[in-house]
Each structure stands twice: as structure tokens, then as C-alpha cells.
A and B are shown apart, each in its own frame.
Chain A
């Protein structure tokens, strides 16, 4: 069987020497959107930083298409096929739109594809990215990930601070990335839009996975999501235990359905 595009096993990540993420297992398959949910401070960004190499993975393995990368420098992980759309729209502000794309272009990454997905960028090729609107900057960052011809793209809180219309538009694009055969890992604090485009979902609470399962199972179930985010009484009659322990102090009995 083909190795999944991204596979994490027993991953723990520290932030400034403080353990933040513990024992995370998850997989992301080619052509699918894998959603990671969780409240503020749950450790979503820390987990992504660990995968991308911006924070140190203390234990466990991160595999890209079967190859362990958790000890590699961030740029080597990028070259191994990992794209990362960081939180907070990290364009290179002094470079133009086109230059932002050029510095990360690799392999058969193609600027034309980006301009086709985002015609508004095509019109602003020569403009410094710092002068773009928030939505356009997010497009640049997405485009930058895309021109590196990635196998996996991590997207962290893309929608933060953007108008609903723009968010919807970008979500469509996320679906298109998956359509190109990329494994997308999508982090969202506000779950519904993400669950709509996603296939499987994981919920993170206090640095641990408390739910792994198909998106369909969570779609529209606000109460269950709330419980997963913040802990609480076990779900009545649910087939899976989803982090039933109040406060989540003990390891949750989450099972990953991806295997």
C-alpha cells in the first residue's frame, strides 16, 4: 500500500521548553482535506510548526510520503514536498506578488496556475505584497505554497480576520488544491466551513487529540464540538469515545479511523 502523504506518530512538540503538544497521531491522504480543530491555545499552531520544523519535535515521527523528516531543517522539509501556510498571512511584504512566488518556486510549480486560481493576483503582479488587502495577501501565501509543487500543504487559520465572502472563496480554493492531488491539512477555529470541505477531522484539546473521525460525524453537531473543544460529559450513545474525561487530564480514548 502507498504510504500516506503525511503521517504523524506519537508526536510531542515543545514551545520555549514548555511541552505543548503530546502524543499526536494523524494521517493526511492525497487528494483529501484533513481538518484539525480546537479552541484557542489548544496547540494547533504548535503542532503545525512541529511538522514544518519551526518548533522542535521532541519525540515521535513525522513522515512525508513514508520518509521521516522530523530531524530535517525546515527548508529541507519544504523541499521534500511540504508547504506551510502559516497563521497571520506571512507574505514577504517588501517583495512584489510575483517575487513572493518566484522565491518559493520549485520543480514543476507553475506561476500560471496561481494566477488562474487567483486572477486578482495576476492584476497585481508588480505590487508589493505589503500593500495588498488581507484576502489578497492570503492568496499570495497560498500561491506561494502552491508553486513549490508540494505533496502536503498545511493551512493554519486562513480565515482569521477575513470577510465571510472571501473566506468562502478561499475554502473553494482549498478544495481545488485537494483536487490537484495535494494532501491538505486545514486548521480552523470556526469549524463548519472546514468540515464542509474536509474528509476526516481531528480535534485537539490541551495538546492532545481527543477525536479522530470522518468530518461528517461532526458536521452541524455544535454541542458535540463544544464538548470536544472544552471537555465535558461523555457523548450520549456515541459510537466512539471522544475525549470523555472531564478536563482531559488523562489520555483520551481517541481512535484514528485512518488506519
Chain B
């Protein structure tokens, strides 16, 4: 059981990044992006389709990442162009529709649950070390390091570069940001592209553990949203923690035979618990807050 929980950290690092992508898209361009993992899964499958044909894995990864970045940028541009003035709910609904459409296309092209499991390269599958009965696979530190690296890079980008400051300004006061000459549409498309690229890498990272069929990977959106909710769609550190927790919970549930079948329900349970918890606190706040 401890083994499963530890192995779950591999996914946890990835989930943390998925949550990060959701939170960043929400904070920087004010869209709850349900299409995130569908786009990432398409990118990942572009990659495996190429490796299946004997293309070098790194080259294939690059192609997948570029493809997903471009697709994501296109979606972002469409939202900016046609839905700029609309409510958050409307934009979220649009991304849900895109999720459904992309998942349908992906399953059609790459097969569903039973037929479509592809072999994703798993370069970090070997054990790193073993303590007693506990095995720590290489993928755990790789995944955690990757999550940390991306988070730190995003943090530096946002606080240390002119573009990052403009993104922060845009996030805080979109109207005023435009008034001072910040090119909101261009920056938004950039955010979408970056998020698409990172998501593809994450999907490739977690695919070997999850079985590697399109609908499972595209369905990671429920995990991503649960993680983002742990961070309340704001806090990056809490989001990271949320990713690790979800990874471990998933590892745990996969090790217990009785509940293994319901593993997919974990993110929804987390979302429900968080909703309940937050609403409880709100009641508390309004009763005792002033």
C-alpha cells in the first residue's frame, strides 16, 4: 500500500501542474478551461503516433507539444475574438463544448478505453532505490522536479519579466491594463499556448501509469479541476499541494481492491468535499465575521 501511495506521487507532480494550468488560465485570462486536458491528450497522441512510426521520442514529444500549443492558442484566439465581453460562465461553457468535441475526435482517431491503449515511452519506470519493502521509482523525483521547475519558472516569469508584470496587471484590472497599452489579446493567446504545451508534457508523463488511452487522459480534466479547487483557483502553493494529495489518494485507492473500480470518482469526491467545506466556512464567516 505504501508503494502505491509513493508511486502515486508520480502522477501527483503531473496533477499539480494540471491544476497550475487551470489556475493560471483562470487568473490571467479569466477562463475556466475545461478543454485543457483534451488538448493535452491530443498533443500526447500526436507524439505516440509518431513514436509508433519510429520517430525519435524527443522529436515526437516536441512535435506533440508544438501541436498542442498551436491548438490551444487557436482556441484562446477564438475565445478572445468572439467571447471577449461575455460572462465567465459562458466562456466556461464554450470550453466544455470544445472538450466534448475534441474528446470525440480523439477517441475516433485513437480508440477508446478498451481499444485505444497506446504504449507511451516510460523512460523512468525503473526503481530508483528500495527501502525495506518500499520501492521508489525514478519517475517520482523526475515528476516532482518537473513540477517544481515549471512552477518556479512560471513564478519568475510573472514577477521578474516585463511580460509577466503585464500579465499580472491584466489579471488584476483587465480594462485598465488595456487602457495603459497592454496588448491583452496577444498575451491571452500566449497564455493559452503555454498552458497547452505544459499540459501535453504532463499527459505524456502520467500516461504510462494511467494506461494510455485517449478518453482516460482527456478525462484528467476532472482531476485538474479538483486540484485547482484545492488552491481555490488562486494559490499556487496550495494548488501544488493539491496535486500531490490527489496523486497519493489515487495511488491509495488503486491499492485497495474494494474501491479500485471507483478510482475515477476520487476527483469528484474531492470537489464535493471542498464545496461542502467552503460553504460551511462561508456560513461561519457570515455569522461570526462582523
Contacts and interface: CB of A to CB of B under 8 A. Distances in A.
Interface of A: 52-54, 73-75, 78-79, 83-84, 86, 90, 92-95, 99-100, 102-104, 106, 144-145, 148
Interface centre among A52, A53, A90, A92 (most CB of B within 10 A): A92
Interface string B146-188: 0000000000000000100110110011011111111111000
Contacts of B180: 78, 83, 103-104, 144-145, 148
29 contacts: A53-B178, A53-B179, A73-B178, A73-B185, A74-B179, A75-B177, A75-B181, A75-B182, A79-B181, A83-B180, A84-B179, A90-B176, A92-B172, A92-B173, A92-B177, A94-B168, A95-B165, A95-B172, A99-B165, A103-B162, A103-B165, A103-B166, A103-B169, A103-B177, A103-B180, A103-B182, A104-B181, A104-B182, A148-B180
B176 A92 contact: yes
Contact of A86 (B166, B168, B179, B181): B179
A215 to B, nearest CB: 27
Q: Report, nearest first, the 6 A-B pairs whose CB atoms are least far apart.
A: A78-B181, A104-B180, A74-B178, A75-B178, A90-B176, A92-B169
Contact of B181 (A92, A94, A148): A148
Interface centre among B173, B178, B181 (most CB of A within 10 A): B181
B172 A94 contact: yes
Contact of A90 (B168, B173, B185): B173
A53 B85 CA distance: 13
Contacts of A75: 177-179, 181-184
Nearest to A52: B179
Given A104-B180, A106-B181, 4 more contacts: A83-B180, A90-B176, A93-B172, A103-B177
B165 A86 contact: no
Interface centre among A74, A86, A144 (most CB of B within 10 A): A74
A86 B176 contact: yes
Interface residues of B, number: 18
Contacts of A92: 168-169, 172-173, 176-177
Given A73-B185, A75-B183, A75-B184, A102 B178 contact: no
A129 to B, nearest CB: 10
B162 A54 contact: no
Interface in B185-216: 185
Contacts of A53: 178-179
A83 B176 CA distance: 11
Given A53-B178, A54-B179, A95 B184 contact: no
Nearest to A144: B180
Contacts of B179: 52-54, 74-75, 78, 84, 86
Contacts of B172: 92-95
Contacts of A145: 180
Contacts of A144: 180
A55 to B, nearest CB: 10
Contacts of B176: 86, 90, 92
Contacts of A106: 181
Contacts of B183: 75
